[in-house]
Structure 1
Amino acid sequence: MSLYLSAALASNRKGRFLQTVAGATPLTTDWISSPPASGLLLIQAEELTDTNTLQCLYHWAMQAGCAALVINLKAEQFTLLAQLPSPLDWQLVPAILRMQEEPGLTALLTSETNQAIAGFTGSADRHQHQAGDVVHTRYIRKHSNSGLLAFTTLPLWSLNLLDHSEILVSWLNWFVDHAGIAEQIIGPKAPSTDYTPDKHDLVVLLLLYAGSGMSLQALSEHNAVKQMFDVNSLDIVKRGEMLQQHDFIDEAGITATGKTCLQASQYWAYAPLLSEQLHTGAL
């Protein structure tokens, strides 16, 4: 997992705890001018001093492969949320969390968490971000392949987590796993007799499988695909030609070899949702 701490957070006790327990990497420069290329960035709410700073974080976090988690929340930062491109009605409210029967991060921090995030906008995972009906973590994203911006009231620097680093890391990993698939500009590939598809090839195989009958050209022009992926850098048609040379696809679509390769990858889990989005246009 690529987990980063803002330089300001890394300089205090909370940040040093997260470096030790979660293995987070501290940034040495200002995240506004030099943010990570991808991964999960943790910052303190007090760093969001004005609307421009919050919008800067929002725009970075909405990129596929990126996620931002704001911790150590203060009520004054919540007044800025209404100014985002997608306005949020979140409010910081007092709360009492009930003891949780299911093991996990929420159960470990229940007694130390006395605030919740109220609101109707955004989302919260019932298992990861709630204690019963109390929501301690909320997030927002544009669509299923965008990055996300999240706020949490959980004290992730609690000494109760010293012996539970794997639980903390697993909880943080959720944000990375739900931050979409980052696309990068690629260079030309030399033909290979023993070709192993990279992650960009796997995205094309995923699109072909989910499209069930759509051509490479049709997929590259599909509105839903354009909204979820960078079709210019992905170059679906050209990449498809390479995959066809190595028998991962043919004129009819994805081959048995291609499907086996896709099923063995992390992208296979996206197939049902992507298929629905391609055929309904809903994001």
Structure 2
Amino acid sequence: MTPSHGPSHGSAGRWSDLDRPPLNATALRRALLLPDGLWTSLEIVPETGSTNSDLAARAGSLPEGAVLIAEEQTSGRGRLDRSWSAPARSGLFLSVLLKPEDVPVGRWGWLPLLTGVAAATGLARAGGVDLSLKWPNDLLVTVAGAERKTGGILAERAGDDGIVVGLGINVTLREDELPVPTAGSLALANAVSTDRDTLLRAVLRSLEQWYRRWTAAGGDPMLCGLQEAYAAGCATLGRSVRAELPGDRALTGEAVAIDGDGRLVVAGANGGREAVGAGDIVHLRPVD
């Protein structure tokens, strides 16, 4: 059930909010660290600046499948070095270490999109809430009829053979806790469950399933079904968008496809098409 979000009291301050219990590390390890599974270690810390930075710093000494989770992240980073912060235990803030040795590096750019598909699938299944994907790496929910960002993904290279994928998801944030008016949370989207242990298990299991399919296909997004799944869940396609590109250049047109490299294909007013691989995307109008 969605928490009542009552105020916290007592000497523990922010840690005494009974609506936001801590994650159960023992139960999570028992459920996720399986003999033939992808996940090889799971660590939960009370607070850190950035799980991505911490995990990347240790990537050389860790096997694939290491998971680092923070109950509170004080200097979380999104794309373009934007900050990501939220109250303690109000969301899922985690990073995973992947080493896709059977996938050409040129296809690693699909990992943020894969993580988006996996997270949306897992959260829908466990939380009973519909999510959509904003290219390239935002998770959207609908709150009072409006699209709101409830999650973000950041993938960064770690050494020669690894990539750290960070995921931040707002779970129980209230309206008065949102960092910006366009932010949302699963609770505000009327999720049927905001139990973070349940949601985390569902996200990591879904991520493992998609990652296995993708690596087994040598990273081919069409062969493993990833390209189709991403397009099906992408709220950006079919919209008028403005792409704010590196070099202070902007491109306005209709988002018409996701190409084989995971880029967003935008059709301009002159009939030409351009594949956008990096930049900010602004949705200009809703889907008809």
**Do they fold alike, i.e. is TM over 0.5?**
no
TM (norm. structure 2) is 0.32
Higher strand share: 2
Give the number of the structure whose residues are more often helix, by fraction: 1
The structure having more radius of gyration, on CA atoms, is 1
